[in-house]
Chains A and B, each alone.
Chain A
Amino acid sequence: MELYDVVIVGGGPGGLSAAYSAYQNGAKKILVIERDRELGGILQQCIHNGFGLHHFKEELTGPGYAGRCIDLIKDKPEIETLTDTMVLSVSKDKKVTAVSPDKGLFTVQGKTVILTMGCRERTRGAIRTAGERPAGVFTAGAAQRMVNMEGYLPGRKIVILGSGDIGLIMARRMSLEGCKVQAVCEICPYSNGLTRNMVQCLYDFDIPLYLSHTILKIKGRDRVEGVTVAKVDEKMRPIPGTEFDIECDTLLLSVGLIPENELSMAAGVEIAPFTNGPKVDQRRQTNLPGIYAAGNVVHVHDLVDFVSDEAEIAGKFAALEAQGTLTPAVDTVAVMPANGIRTCVPQVLHLPEGGEPVRLFMRAGAPDRKVTLEVKCGDEVLVKKMLPVVKPSEMITLDIPAAKTVLMHDKIEVGLRAK
Chain B
Amino acid sequence: METKVMNCIMCPMGCEMTVTLENGKFVSVTGNSCPRGARYAETEVTDPRRMLTTTVRIRGGLLPLLPVVSADVLPKGRIADCVAYLRNVTAEAPVKAGDVIVHDILGLGVNIVASRDM
Contacts and interface: CB of A to CB of B under 8 A. Distances in A.
A61 B8 CA distance: 19
Nearest to A194: B12
Contact of B53 (A61, A67, A199, A204): A61
Interface string B47-79: 000110111010000111101010000001001
A147 to B, nearest CB: 8
A62 B106 CA distance: 25
Given A47-B54, A47-B55, A204-B76, A194 B67 contact: no
Interface stretch (A148-156, A228-236, A320-328): A148-156
Interface of B: 6-12, 14, 16, 50-51, 53-55, 57, 62-65, 67, 69, 76, 79-80, 83, 97, 115-117
Interface string A302-324: 11000000000000000000000
A50 B115 contact: no
Given A44-B116, A63-B115, A194-B14, A199 B7 contact: yes
A14 interface: no
A196 B69 contact: no
Contacts of B8: 195-196
Contacts of A394: 12, 14
9 contacts: A37-B62, A61-B67, A64-B69, A64-B115, A66-B116, A150-B64, A196-B12, A198-B7, A200-B9
B12 A303 contact: yes
A49 B53 contact: yes
A151 B64 contact: yes
Given A63-B115, A64-B116, A47 B12 contact: no
Contacts of B65: 148-151
Contacts of B76: 204
A38 B62 contact: yes
Nearest to A38: B62
A48 interface: yes
Nearest to B116: A63
A196 B64 contact: no
Contacts of A195: 7-9, 12, 14
Contacts of B54: 47, 176
A200 B52 CA distance: 11
Given A64-B97, A148-B65, A196 B116 contact: no
A266 interface: no
Given A148-B67, A150-B64, A67 B116 contact: yes
Contacts of A302: 12
The residue among A53, A63, A148, A389 with the most chain B CB atoms within 10 A of its own CB is A63
B7 A47 contact: no
B64 to A, nearest CB: 4
Contacts of A37: 62
B29 to A, nearest CB: 16
Nearest to A70: B117
Nearest to B97: A67
Given A196-B12, A200-B50, 10 more contacts: A47-B54, A61-B69, A61-B116, A147-B55, A149-B65, A150-B63, A151-B63, A176-B80, A176-B83, A195-B7
Contacts of B12: 50, 53, 194-196, 302-303, 394
B12, B69, B97 — most chain A CB neighbours (10 Å): B12
Contacts of B115: 47, 61-64
Interface string A386-413: 0001000010000000000000000000
A394 B54 CA distance: 26
Contacts of B116: 44, 61, 63-64, 66-67
Contacts of B79: 176
A49 B69 contact: yes
A61 B79 CA distance: 17
Nearest to A303: B12
Contacts of B51: 49
Contact of A53 (B7, B11, B62, B83): B11
Contacts of A44: 116
Nearest to A43: B116
A49 B53 CA distance: 7
Contacts of A196: 7-12, 14
A194 B54 CA distance: 20
Nearest to A200: B9
A168 B7 CA distance: 16
Interface in A38-65: 38, 44, 47-50, 53, 61-64
Nearest to B52: A176
B117 A67 contact: yes
Nearest to B57: A151
